[in-house]
Structure 1
């Protein structure tokens, strides 16, 4: 056996590292079990497309945390396609439904423009959703892509957030600008913006405090931070992500709506999608808010936070087993 054949045989014996799509299929297992099995019952239980069929379908979608408004859009879209294409077979509806869901979730080509411009990226969200961890993971990924990244620890309300971010900045090998616990978050952002300009950084990522129960204070704080960025760095491209915990289902949608009242949100990071049966919330949030889900998290590792791909997500949702 030649040396090349030896190597090929050895490589074949090694367990393959599961790619993100494989992890996504695994991560959406619970959602798929509750959602797709319900859909399959509808598709196999009806021989014709009638009002009862649509009613049952509607019920399954709502139960999957897709929400009433989004479900209505999906059903209306499906009905229009069925009528337009004069479809009579229930089985053909399955693919039409998949296509309809994908249409609700597509991310535009310019969604990640901020990566190639001098940008200030702000992450907002309540405590416990994985906000600070997402800041760290994004910083690591951007650094690996050759970007010069600076982090701002503007969540001065929670001591653990500064410690956590310090750890992430060390791991990623990026600079961190931090203040004291209980200090003024806007002052931290002021220092970070000036550091980003002085060091010619590509991306400044700001972690902010997440306190929705005191919305007035949060609103004032975010306004102040925004004023500073606009005044000190008017040329910077602005990106504001709201980080939401996928396991909270409809509650995540409610949070997104509240945060959209206090900030100009440009994208959503949906975390903890692995191991939840509420993955359908990704569809609801994007459709109802008209704000794209730009990243999804399905695990603890840096590579487990990835850019959102509607086709891959919906395909994984309807997949029966990993290849």
Structure 2
């Protein structure tokens, strides 16, 4: 009897443990659809066992016969909130792009346009001497326009003031508008490359240093694309920052967009990005957006890893856009960041956040000059729809109003 008792107690303990694990396993299976690892084990850049998964908390992802009609169905009516238990997150309808542009322009006009107002006041003076031109130059430099663009603009304004003769405020404003538009360069292509290529989605990487709002920008941009009737899939390749994947998935939930993420802390970012593109191809989405970890531009290893993420993704599909997110208030430091990132990956466009502080609006010109790539998107505020395509004339008009 004494020999049997330990065995019985062991069996009872095992039953209790298994009973406790069953609900957890069921919940995990319901919320995560795992994908078989079909990557090349001999490829040194694609680490096996990344543990990536598609977070289907935006609804359900039903996998059927590959290539068959209706094999991937995404139900996005409500989003279960695991933390809240019974609460649900309703899928929102993002604002149309046209409405965003109007709102952002109004916000720019209401903000403290030191650059535009300062120039208008100086150039409307009864007498413009060298001290006035010195102030014009200082105003432009303080606005982070950069030395070369500042000299170019001052020279152009000097010449036009000589020819203009009598200057009314209306004439000065029109003159400034023309010259600033030239500097910002309306000829740059600011469109996003988000069109499918045959059987493959457009792929977009979002990069930048810590704290500029990359994950938030990816979420807001997903809203822009959904408003344009694009099917989007998000890839949470920021595996270093705690809760980054969950934050991205929440943004996706709000507009009914699935997120590919890892269930392993510190997983290989390149592996997660690879699985995101793979899932995007299988589900025939229009755009795959990959959020990357915030990197300090002076950390060589991290910058090399960013290049690796891009190379691994390109084993499946071409990377159409690499958007660099910059905080407009960082000024020339943001310019230095941009230069380093452009050496690692081919930057195709800039996203400027916190542009509501338009005293630093000249950074638009400085960055475009330094990299030869356009500012494509701007953010003004913390709202979910406070991100819109950059429009040259609207930006200049806002500075001068």
Give the TM-score category using the shorter length: 0.7 to 0.9
* Aligned pair partner of 2:115 in 27, 35, 51: 35
Q: 2:364 matched to 1:282?
A: yes
Please give the secondary structure, in 2, of the residue aligned with 1:126: coil
* Aligned pair partner of 1:186 in 265, 270, 295: 270
Could you list the runs of 5+ residues in structure 1 that have no partner in the other structure? 1-17
Q: Give CA deviations for 1:136-160 in whole Å, capped at 9, x if unaligned.
A: 0111221232211111101111022
Which residue is equivalent to 2:165?
88
1:274, distance to aligned residue in structure 2 (A): 2.2
* Aligned pair partner of 2:105 in 2, 8, 24: 24
Count of residue pairs brought into register by the alignment: 296
Distance 1:23 1:239 in 2: 24
Distance 1:137 1:102 in 2: 27
Change (3 A) 1:255 1:160: same
Please give the secondary structure, in 2, of the residue aligned with 1:116: coil
**Could you tell me whether the CA contact under 8 Å between 1:150 and 1:201 is conserved in 2?**
yes
Distance 1:248 1:116 in 2: 32
Runs of 4+ residues over 4 Å off in structure 1? 28-31, 50-53, 79-83, 107-110
Could you list the runs of 5+ residues in structure 2 that have no partner in the other structure? 1-98
Distance 1:202 1:151 in 2: 11
Please give the secondary structure, in 1, of the residue aligned with 2:359: coil
Please give the secondary structure, in 2, of the residue aligned with 1:97: helix
**Could you tell me whether the CA contact under 8 Å between 1:105 and 1:287 is conserved in 2?**
no
Equivalent runs, 1:159-308 vs 2, <5 Å: 159-179=242-262, 180-212=264-296, 214-233=298-317, 236=318, 238-275=320-357, 277-308=359-390
Structure with max Cα Rg: 2
Range with greater deviation from structure 2 (302-311 or 209-218): 209-218
Change (3 A) 1:44 1:135: same
Please give the secondary structure, in 2, of the residue aligned with 1:39: helix
Which residue is equivalent to 2:183?
104
Distance 1:80 1:229 in 2: 51
Range with greater deviation from structure 2 (122-131 or 74-83): 74-83
**Could you tell me whether the CA contact under 8 Å between 2:190 and 2:390 is conserved in 1?**
no
Change (3 A) 1:242 1:284: same
Distance 2:176 2:300 in 1: 42
Higher relative contact order, structure no. (Cα contacts within 8 Å, ≥ 6 residues apart): 1
Range with greater deviation from structure 2 (23-32 or 114-123): 23-32
Change (3 A) 1:39 1:63: same
Which residue is equivalent to 2:153?
74
Q: CA RMSD in A?
A: 2.4
Q: Give CA deviations for 1:204-253 in whole Å, capped at 9, x if unaligned.
A: 100001121553112221221121122221xx351001001122222222
Please give the secondary structure, in 1, of the residue aligned with 2:265: coil
